[in-house]
């Protein structure tokens, strides 16, 4: 922990803990918590400038580029207003995506003065606590349904967690990645009760992933299990323990899927439908029509105000009635970005996603594996959902990106050279 933390840095830190815990609970609560983070960050910036007789702006090269990339991406969205016809919708979209900009500006511009390695970890634990509390809440609701006469399959089936399943699965995967990194890096130093708690959360979160019934979530889970098993084997050189871990994780996951059928078949049916000449799966038709529309204006896109209407027009041209009535987005953030601002906007967006990982690799950061897992989880799930089209995605991806940028900052006086105690 950074010594001699000031009252205003502590205030910012407490608001971040609240924000991290609120993200898994609900985006309305997280949005108000984000406003508190922005306010306390402003107080921290002003108070710090007065105390040091100069502004405490970000000085680390990695953090500066991280902030610059996200600002460039948002400015590209803003410039697209020059060639969009529906300006009212455009400003609405920009207002929604401003959430993505608030936290990076709040933390990276104040250089996160009150955040050290320990405090960044505490923010991760706050998110984990919010995730666990949310799961327990929905379990209590499901038990209540069973007491009212519903079967186990109904109570813990579709609608167990009524929020969007893709975003919930994204949260769970990030929580599992954090748990693995903590157990792997701090196994011998963490208290036994904490070690036991984290181990107990793993099967519970795997069960949570299965019951939310997200195809992308299940694929992410299996890939995450495989990646962590290989990483454990290569770093610990304990191959029999790695094999045992793989068998236990995969066996438990497959067992839960078998006990609650219909999850694995959704993935298999989608793969078969992609290979079909006449796909019937709505997701496949959405992706096909969206890509076709994006390729009509690949350089600059349609603009933030017009792209969705043009997308629906493509559904109409393809006689995709479900897409017309529901007004589906592309269900792919990369395609969605090309639709809005073309490849000109896609480039800074991709650079933004991979920048923390690049810096972590170049600086041989102790947290390279955690940054790699989080980057993979976010980028992979964006293939199956337009994550930045909802507050649930914006309020998660913005903080994850910001924290990763802070962790791998090249400024040795702040984050780049911090080590575990």
Q: Which among 349, 353, 345, 352 is positioned nearest to 372, based on CA atoms?
A: 353
Give me the pLDDT at residue 419, please. Answer: 39
Distance from C-alpha of 368 to C-alpha of 375, rounded to nearest angstrom: 10
Token match 């000031």: residue? 6
**DSSP classification of residue 388:** G
pLDDT band of 263, cuts 50, 70, 90: low
pLDDT tens digits for range 266-303: 555 555 555 555 555 677 788 888 999 999 999 999 99
Say if CB 41 and CB 107 are below 8 A apart.
yes
Give me the pLDDT at residue 414, please. Answer: 42
Say if CB 345 and CB 337 are below 8 A apart.
yes
CB atoms under 10 Å from CB of 188, counted, come to 6
pLDDT tens digits for range 114-140: 677 788 889 999 999 999 999 999 999
Between the CA atoms of 341, 343, 349 and 353, what dihedral angle is there, to the nearest 10 degrees? 150
pLDDT tens digits for range 372-416: 999 999 999 999 999 999 999 999 998 888 888 777 764 443 443
* Tokens describing residue 70: 């996200």
Q: Which among 212, 205, 202 is positioned nearest to 392, based on CA atoms?
A: 212
* Tokens describing residue 177: 């990645």
**Packing angle of the helix pair 282-294, 307-317 (nearest 10 deg):** 120
Residues in the chain: 421
Question: 298 Cβ partners below 8 Å, 6+ apart?
Answer: 338, 342, 343
pLDDT tens digits for range 21-80: 999 999 999 999 999 998 988 888 888 778 776 666 655 677 778 888 888 999 999 999
CA-to-CA dists, residue 28 to 88, 93, 120, 174, 396, angstroms: 23, 17, 23, 20, 13
The pTM of this model reads 0.90
Element (H, E) at 57: none
Say which residue, 268 or 337, is predicted with more confidence: 337
Token match 């017309």: residue? 324
pLDDT tens digits for range 300-336: 999 999 998 999 899 888 888 777 777 788 899 999 9
């Amino acid at each position: 922990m950074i010594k001699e933390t000031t009252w205003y840095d502590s205030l910012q830190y407490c608001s971040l803990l609240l924000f991290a815990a609120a993200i898994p609970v609900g985006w309305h609560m997280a949005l108000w918590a984000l406003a508190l983070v922005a306010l306390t960050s402003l107080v921290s910036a002003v108070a710090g400038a007065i105390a040091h007789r100069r502004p405490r702006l970000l000085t680390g090269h990695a953090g500066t580029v991280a902030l610059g990339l996200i600002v460039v991406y948002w400015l590209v969205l803003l410039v697209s207003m020059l060639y969009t016809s529906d300006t009212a919708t455009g400003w609405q979209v920009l207002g929604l995506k401003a959430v993505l900009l608030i936290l990076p500006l709040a933390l990276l511009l104040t250089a996160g003065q009150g955040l050290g390695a320990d405090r960044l970890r505490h923010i991760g634990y706050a998110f984990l606590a919010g995730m666990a509390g949310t799961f327990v809440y929905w379990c209590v609701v499901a038990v209540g349904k069973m007491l009212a006469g519903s079967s186990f399959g109904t109570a813990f089936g579709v609608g167990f967690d009524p929020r969007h399943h893709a975003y919930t699965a994204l949260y769970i995967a990030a929580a599992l990645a954090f748990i693995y990194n903590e157990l792997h890096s701090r196994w011998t130093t963490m208290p036994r009760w904490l070690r036991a708690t984290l181990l107990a959360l793993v099967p519970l979160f795997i069960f949570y992933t299965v019951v939310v019934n997200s195809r992308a979530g299940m694929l992410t889970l299996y890939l995450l299990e495989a990646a962590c098993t290989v990483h454990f084997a290569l770093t610990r050189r304990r191959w029999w323990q790695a094999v045992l871990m793989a068998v236990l994780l995969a066996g438990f996951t497959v067992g839960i899927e078998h006990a609650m059928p219909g999850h694995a078949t959704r993935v298999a049916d989608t793969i078969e439908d992609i290979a079909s000449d006449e796909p019937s799966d709505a997701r496949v038709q959405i992706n096909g029509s969206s890509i076709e529309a994006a390729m009509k204006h690949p350089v600059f896109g349609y603009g933030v105000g017009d792209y969705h209407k043009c997308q629906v027009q493509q559904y109409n041209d393809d006689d995709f009635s479900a897409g017309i009535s529901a007004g589906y987005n592309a269900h792919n953030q990369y395609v969605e970005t090309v639709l809005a601002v073309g490849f000109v906007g896609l480039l800074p967006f991709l650079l933004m996603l991979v920048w923390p990982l690049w810096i972590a690799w170049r600086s041989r950061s102790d947290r390279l594996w955690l940054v790699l897992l989080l980057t993979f989880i976010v980028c992979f799930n964006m293939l199956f959902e337009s994550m930045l089209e909802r507050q649930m995605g914006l309020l998660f991806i913005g903080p994850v990106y910001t924290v990763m940028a802070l962790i791998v900052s090249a400024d040795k006086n702040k984050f780049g050279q911090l080590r575990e105690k």
